[in-house]
Structure 1
Amino acid sequence: MTDAVAPRKSAIDRFLNIVERGGNALPHPATLFALLAAIVVLLSGIAAYFDVSAPHPATGESIRVVNLLSLEGLHRMSTSMVTNFTSFAPLGTVLVALLGIGVAEHSGLIGAALRLLVLSSPRYLLTPVMVFAGVMSNMASEIGYVLLVPLAGLIFLAAGRHPILGMAAAFAGVSGGYSANLLIGTIDPLLAGLSQEASRIIDPGYTVTPVANWYFMIASTPVVTLLGWLVTERIVAPRFPDGPTRNPEEDGAAKPEQDPEAQRLKPEEWRGLKWATAAALLITLVLVWAALPQGLFWGAGFMRDPTTGDLLSSPLLSSVVAMIFLYGVVTGVTYGAVAGTVKNDTDVIKGMGQSMSTLGVYLVLTFFAAQFVAYFNWTQLGLVFAVEGAQLLDSLRTFVLGDSGDTSGWRWVLAKIIIMGGFILLTAVANLFMGSASAKWALMAPIFVPMFMILGYSPELTQIAYRIGDSVTNIISPMMSYFALIIAFLQRYEPRAGIGTVISVMLPYSVVFMIGWTALFVLWLAFDLPIGPGAPLQYIPVAPGT
Structure 2
Amino acid sequence: MSSSSAVEKRQFQQVGFLRKLEIVGNKLPNPSILFLLLIIVLAVLSLILASMHVSAIHPMTHKVIYVKSLISREGLQWIMTDMIKNYINFPPLGMIIVLTMGIGLVEKTGLMEAILKGTIHSIPKKYITFTIIILSFMSHLASDAAIVVVPPIAAMVFYSMERHPFVGFAASLAAIYSGFTANILIVTTDVLLSGISTQAAKIVDANMVVTPVDNWYFMCFSVIYLAVLTTFVTEKFVEPRMGKYEGIQPVQLDKPTPAQQSALKATGIATFIFIVVLLLLVVPEGALLRNPETGGIAGSPLIKGIVPLLLLFFLTVGLTYGIKIKNIKSGDDVVHMMTECMKGLSGFLVMVFAIAQFIAAFTWTNIATLIATSGAEFLKNIGMTGLPALLCFMLFGQFMGLFIASGSAIWSLLSPVFVPMFMLLGYHPAFVQVAFRAGDGAFNTIQIVNPFLPLFLETLKKYKEQSGIGTYLSLMLPYAISFFIMWYILFIFWYLTGLPVGPGVPQRLW
TM-score by length of 2: 0.92
Shift of 1:536: 4.3
Conserved? CA contact 1:303–1:316, under 8 Å: yes
1:88 equivalent in structure 2 = 90
> Which deviates the most, 366-375 or 459-468?
459-468
In structure 2, distance between residues paired with 1:89 and 1:343? 35
2:29 partner amino acid: P
2:4 equivalent in structure 1 = none
Does residue 506 in structure 1 map to residue 508 in structure 2?
no
- Cα 1:45–1:459 change in 2 (3 A) is farther
In structure 2, distance between residues paired with 1:316 and 1:60? 35
1:325 equivalent in structure 2 = 311
In structure 2, distance between residues paired with 1:327 and 1:491? 27
1:525 partner amino acid: Y
In structure 2, distance between residues paired with 1:33 and 1:471? 23
1:378 equivalent in structure 2 = 364
In structure 2, distance between residues paired with 1:234 and 1:461? 33
Conserved? CA contact 1:195–1:449, under 8 Å: yes
**In the TM superposition, what are the counterparts of 1:407-486 in structure 2 within 5 Å?**
415-486=385-456
Conserved? CA contact 2:215–2:430, under 8 Å: yes
The one of 103, 106, 112 aligned to 1:104: 106
2:251 partner amino acid: P
Shift of 1:82: 1.0
Q: In the TM superposition, what whole-angstrom CA distance separates every residue of 1:160-201 from its partner, at most 9, and x where no partner exists?
A: 101111101111111111121000112221222222233334
Does residue 256 in structure 1 map to residue 258 in structure 2?
no
1:182 partner amino acid: I
The one of 14, 17, 23 aligned to 1:15: 17
Gaps of 5+ in 2: 1-10
2:274 partner amino acid: I
In structure 2, distance between residues paired with 1:476 and 1:151? 21
1:270 partner amino acid: Q
> Which deviates the most, 464-473 or 157-166?
464-473
Q: In the TM superposition, what whole-angstrom CA distance separates every residue of 1:359-417 from its partner, at most 9, and x where no partner exists?
A: 1111112111111111111222122222332244335544xxxxxxxxxxxxxxxx332
Shift of 1:352: 1.3
Conserved? CA contact 1:211–1:532, under 8 Å: yes
Number of residue-to-residue matches in the alignment: 499
Does residue 336 in structure 1 map to residue 336 in structure 2?
no
In structure 2, distance between residues paired with 1:31 and 1:131? 34
Aligned to 2:232, the other structure's residue is in SS state helix
- Cα 1:532–1:97 change in 2 (3 A) is same
1:294 partner amino acid: E
Does residue 270 in structure 1 map to residue 256 in structure 2?
no
1:316 partner amino acid: L
The one of 156, 159, 164 aligned to 2:158: 156
The one of 273, 285, 293 aligned to 1:294: 285
Q: In the TM superposition, what whole-angstrom CA distance separates every residue of 1:181-232 from its partner, at most 9, and x where no partner exists?
A: 0001122212222222333344444322222221111011011101211111
The one of 454, 458, 462 aligned to 1:492: 462
In structure 1, distance between residues paired with 2:372 and 2:422? 13
Shift of 1:504: 1.1
In structure 1, distance between residues paired with 2:60 and 2:123? 55
Conserved? CA contact 2:59–2:416, under 8 Å: no
**In the TM superposition, what are the counterparts of 1:229-240 in structure 2 within 5 Å?**
229-240=231-242
In structure 1, distance between residues paired with 2:394 and 2:303? 29
The one of 320, 326, 341 aligned to 1:355: 341
- Cα 1:447–1:32 change in 2 (3 A) is farther
In structure 1, distance between residues paired with 2:38 and 2:428? 36
Q: In the TM superposition, what whole-angstrom CA distance separates every residue of 1:449-483 from its partner, at most 9, and x where no partner exists?
A: 34444444433223222222221001111412212
In structure 2, distance between residues paired with 1:447 and 1:275? 55
Aligned to 2:301, the other structure's residue is in SS state coil
- Cα 1:59–1:81 change in 2 (3 A) is closer
Does residue 524 in structure 1 map to residue 494 in structure 2?
yes
Does residue 169 in structure 1 map to residue 171 in structure 2?
yes
**Identical-residue share of aligned pairs (%):** 37
- Cα 1:446–1:40 change in 2 (3 A) is farther
In structure 2, distance between residues paired with 1:166 and 1:236? 10
- Cα 1:55–1:332 change in 2 (3 A) is closer
Q: In the TM superposition, what whole-angstrom CA distance separates every residue of 1:235-281 from its partner, at most 9, and x where no partner exists?
A: 111222235x3228xxxxxx512xx6xx2322211111110111011
In structure 2, distance between residues paired with 1:348 and 1:498? 32
Conserved? CA contact 1:223–1:517, under 8 Å: no
**In the TM superposition, what are the counterparts of 1:190-205 in structure 2 within 5 Å?**
190-205=192-207
- Cα 1:537–1:15 change in 2 (3 A) is same
- Cα 1:529–1:72 change in 2 (3 A) is same
Conserved? CA contact 1:294–1:302, under 8 Å: no
Conserved? CA contact 2:439–2:487, under 8 Å: no
Aligned to 1:443, the other structure's residue is in SS state helix
The one of 267, 270, 276 aligned to 1:285: 276
> Which deviates the most, 141-150 or 61-70?
61-70
Does residue 26 in structure 1 map to residue 28 in structure 2?
yes
**In the TM superposition, what are the counterparts of 1:180-195 in structure 2 within 5 Å?**
180-195=182-197
2:359 partner amino acid: V
- Cα 1:456–1:379 change in 2 (3 A) is farther
2:7 equivalent in structure 1 = none
Gaps of 5+ in 1: 1-8, 249-254, 296-300, 399-414, 541-546
The one of 43, 46, 63 aligned to 2:45: 43
- Cα 1:128–1:502 change in 2 (3 A) is same
Conserved? CA contact 2:397–2:410, under 8 Å: no
Conserved? CA contact 2:111–2:318, under 8 Å: yes
2:184 partner amino acid: L
Conserved? CA contact 1:58–1:201, under 8 Å: no
In structure 2, distance between residues paired with 1:97 and 1:237? 29
In structure 1, distance between residues paired with 2:297 and 2:36? 41
Q: In the TM superposition, what whole-angstrom CA distance separates every residue of 1:47-78 from its partner, at most 9, and x where no partner exists?
A: 11111223456886543222222101111121
Shift of 1:94: 0.8
1:67 equivalent in structure 2 = 69
What RMSD in Å do the two structures reach over aligned CA positions? 2.2
Conserved? CA contact 2:380–2:418, under 8 Å: no
Conserved? CA contact 1:383–1:444, under 8 Å: no
- Cα 1:179–1:347 change in 2 (3 A) is same
Does residue 247 in structure 1 map to residue 248 in structure 2?
yes
Does residue 314 in structure 1 map to residue 315 in structure 2?
no
Conserved? CA contact 1:227–1:513, under 8 Å: no
In structure 1, distance between residues paired with 2:212 and 2:317? 33
- Cα 1:66–1:89 change in 2 (3 A) is same
Q: In the TM superposition, what whole-angstrom CA distance separates every residue of 1:339-366 from its partner, at most 9, and x where no partner exists?
A: 1111111111111111211111111121
Aligned to 1:472, the other structure's residue is in SS state coil
Does residue 364 in structure 1 map to residue 350 in structure 2?
yes
1:268 partner amino acid: A
> Which deviates the most, 56-65 or 142-151?
56-65
Conserved? CA contact 1:194–1:441, under 8 Å: yes
